[in-house]
Structure 1
């Protein structure tokens, strides 16, 4: 990151951050896409089982992994304030925290997972696939969380191209092992959807090995001396990370878990409905990688400027990021409308699932504009280290408004399964409105603070 002095320079620097982050996010989500889509070509039961397993795992990882995202604004502020010597210590403390979180997931999951699946109205085969998919995937949880920390470190330095390249070489590894283990090719056992779990775990280990090599052997990362020494645990540093990270993690958890909760509630419908819903939500989530990437790029840019107390520049980056996200939302909406049949065909050959997926994709169009506003604002607020508002917005908008509206429409009107999607749309829109007002308030406060400092 470097200081910029014009709109053109800011646009170019934000795009330089954004494009690699976008490719990285699409690549990471493409792994989940490959799990679901390739499992769907094994059978509808495998698709439904992996869908259930994925919708249990994704909010757990994104929520608890979101805690570790606190490292990005922490490192960005150190850079903006010209305190690079403090970065390695913060990173190592985040690594310790990541390992602790990973062990906690494994311990709690070993007791909770059977009970969670037992409460769901699933076909026995679908339940078994979901359970063993998650058991297989759990073999890669520890390396995934360590990789997540090191990725935050790399991105915060503005070197987002590095994580992009790691993801690009990891994706074919994931697809290859999916092919081998789902369908039983070249002497490997045909494990169906469960094979996707093993393939994902192998990919997580691969990512960790690569990122360890990069951060310890390649400049500028090796300059920071990560893993050359192991400082003792610091409760003070953990408190700093958790003060920022817990609200981020809870906000992400409440946002992603609402989609998981809807999928779990969909278990009251038949396997065709579950499979179609998951196919549509999977592609809609893939499109969400665009505003999410804008959000992550804004956290880096705004954090850098806020750390240097250049609040006008931070505001300009925020406006620029929202404009990019809204513009792309127009394009993705048109893609969904025009090519919904072709998109549905990527997930299934089953005629009933295909037809229902097309209908769900029409509702996904309405997600695009709320996400294009809410996600970039969340990223900007994290750059300001203002994280509590996003947490409250997610809790109230998604769980206080979206889920109740969806439940009523799905169970007490003719909308049925589509009612949950209407509820999601309502919650996303409410969250976008709330966050917009919060951003305006934070920026006004920062503007007044800068004016006061200049007056002195």
Structure 2
């Protein structure tokens, strides 16, 4: 009895160890790719900061609006990740199913982008309606009319990224994203400030530089997926014009809650930026810097959440309930441990982190001081921010997206926005109150996601048909 128990324990340990290796092997390229893509945006924020606090505030407000809608569309196409993973786990007709799913994602982008571009072209009116000054609204619209065209190649890049990740080969995206950082920095810097004989376009140059960068990255990933032997057998773009109503509806059914969930999270941060705009341009600039630093650390649990979606989805396709458990908890533990270490760093050296984005000049002293205060709050919510995004990825692997949507609405918009608004304007805590509200919302969502994952068997989430 003791021998058999020891053998069982040894086998269990080997399975957990194998899951850890598989998760890390899949996650680290995703994490670095997320990080590098975030650094592309961080480069834009850095360069706008060099232009001045007003330009930084205007571009930040515009980008916050853009990324709220970007993440909604990204969520729609993210549905292809668990759909492809489950098809590959089942193996029967996998090539055809993966191609159908990819084609459905293409059609969703064709339908969604034109009205989205129309909205972005007139974003200045929306910024004015949300109470921003004429100067911020005008400069934000100027920037966005150049930046908005980057959304098409960016979204197609993400659709292709989901495909290569489902095949557990995300390193390609990593290398392209690393190249993208240098490319975006060079092109945007040249166009913003007028180097190498190019005109100094200011905010417009930042938008054009980002658009050119994503066009080149997307073209490169298309070339790779069309030529690599493992990828090309799927013929992703074969008969792309065929309209597959059933698969499109399946993707919408799964992806719409994902998109809304992501938009709710980004939307509350975007609205927080507009609340900062009511307080003043200094508060907006400080918010932008602190949020950018927090966004960089967030890329690690985001990548682990994406890995969890694939690993849980593959186990679900195999009808392996023990494998589902191992895949979920491995990613969650790794993510929370990492965010604990990042919280310690943010709390220990906030001033040094902030001054990476803002020069230590008398004109920036107030912005720097406020950004340091916000970053200390960000340190406090690192753990729950990581827990909630990995929890969402774990549940997504089980095709469970509707309840996480409800959790996001309650957590971000009822708890987070409610507490933040009251503290900022009722208790007159201003920007600090808004950040405490954001932290409260993230904590509420993390708790709800974790409870649902723990109850997955009782709720029937692992009874895969």
Q: Normalising to structure 1: TM-score of the pair?
A: 0.94
- Contact kept, 8 Å, 2:98 with 2:234, in 1: the verdict is yes
- Contact kept, 8 Å, 2:100 with 2:244, in 1: the verdict is no
- Contact kept, 8 Å, 2:120 with 2:148, in 1: the verdict is no
Equivalent in the alignment of 1:330: 340
Deviation at 1:229, TM superposition (A): 2.6
Give deviations 1:262-321, integer Å, cap 9, x for gaps: 001111112111101111011111111111111101001000100111111111111111
Alpha-carbon distance in 2 for matches of 1:262, 1:449? 40
* Residues 164/393 of structure 1: CA separation in 2 closer, same or farther (3 Å cut): same
Equivalent in the alignment of 1:394: 408
Give deviations 1:223-266, integer Å, cap 9, x for gaps: 11122333521111111101100000000010111000100111
> Of the candidates 442, 447, 451, which is equivalent to residue 428 of structure 1?
442
- Contact kept, 8 Å, 1:129 with 1:194, in 2: the verdict is no
Alpha-carbon distance in 2 for matches of 1:416, 1:226? 50
- Contact kept, 8 Å, 1:50 with 1:194, in 2: the verdict is no
Gaps of 5+ in 1: none
Alpha-carbon distance in 1 for matches of 2:233, 2:111? 26
Q: Normalising to structure 2: TM-score of the pair?
A: 0.93
Deviation at 1:124, TM superposition (A): 3.5
- Contact kept, 8 Å, 1:73 with 1:385, in 2: the verdict is yes
Equivalent in the alignment of 1:107: 118
Deviation at 1:80, TM superposition (A): 0.3
- Contact kept, 8 Å, 1:312 with 1:447, in 2: the verdict is no
Asked if 1:29 corresponds to 2:38, the answer is yes
* Residues 443/188 of structure 1: CA separation in 2 closer, same or farther (3 Å cut): farther
Aligned ranges for residues 291-302 of structure 1 at < 5 Å? 291-302=301-312
- Alpha carbon RMSD of aligned pairs, Å? 1.7
Alpha-carbon distance in 2 for matches of 1:237, 1:418? 46
Deviation at 1:34, TM superposition (A): 0.7
Deviation at 1:384, TM superposition (A): 0.4
Equivalent in the alignment of 1:6: 15
Aligned ranges for residues 43-62 of structure 1 at < 5 Å? 43-62=52-71
- Contact kept, 8 Å, 2:121 with 2:144, in 1: the verdict is no
Equivalent in the alignment of 1:405: 419
Equivalent in the alignment of 1:132: 142
Give deviations 1:324-347, integer Å, cap 9, x for gaps: 011111210111012211111111
- Contact kept, 8 Å, 1:47 with 1:193, in 2: the verdict is no
Deviation at 1:449, TM superposition (A): 4.2
Gaps of 5+ in 2: 1-12
> Of the candidates 222, 225, 231, which is equivalent to residue 221 of structure 1?
231
- Contact kept, 8 Å, 2:308 with 2:390, in 1: the verdict is yes
Aligned ranges for residues 251-266 of structure 1 at < 5 Å? 251-266=261-276
Equivalent in the alignment of 1:414: 428
Equivalent in the alignment of 1:351: 365
- Contact kept, 8 Å, 1:263 with 1:277, in 2: the verdict is yes
- Contact kept, 8 Å, 1:99 with 1:146, in 2: the verdict is no
**1:228 aligned counterpart, secondary structure:** coil
Equivalent in the alignment of 1:17: 26
**1:442 aligned counterpart, secondary structure:** coil
> Of the candidates 95, 99, 102, which is equivalent to residue 91 of structure 1?
102
Alpha-carbon distance in 2 for matches of 1:309, 1:445? 16
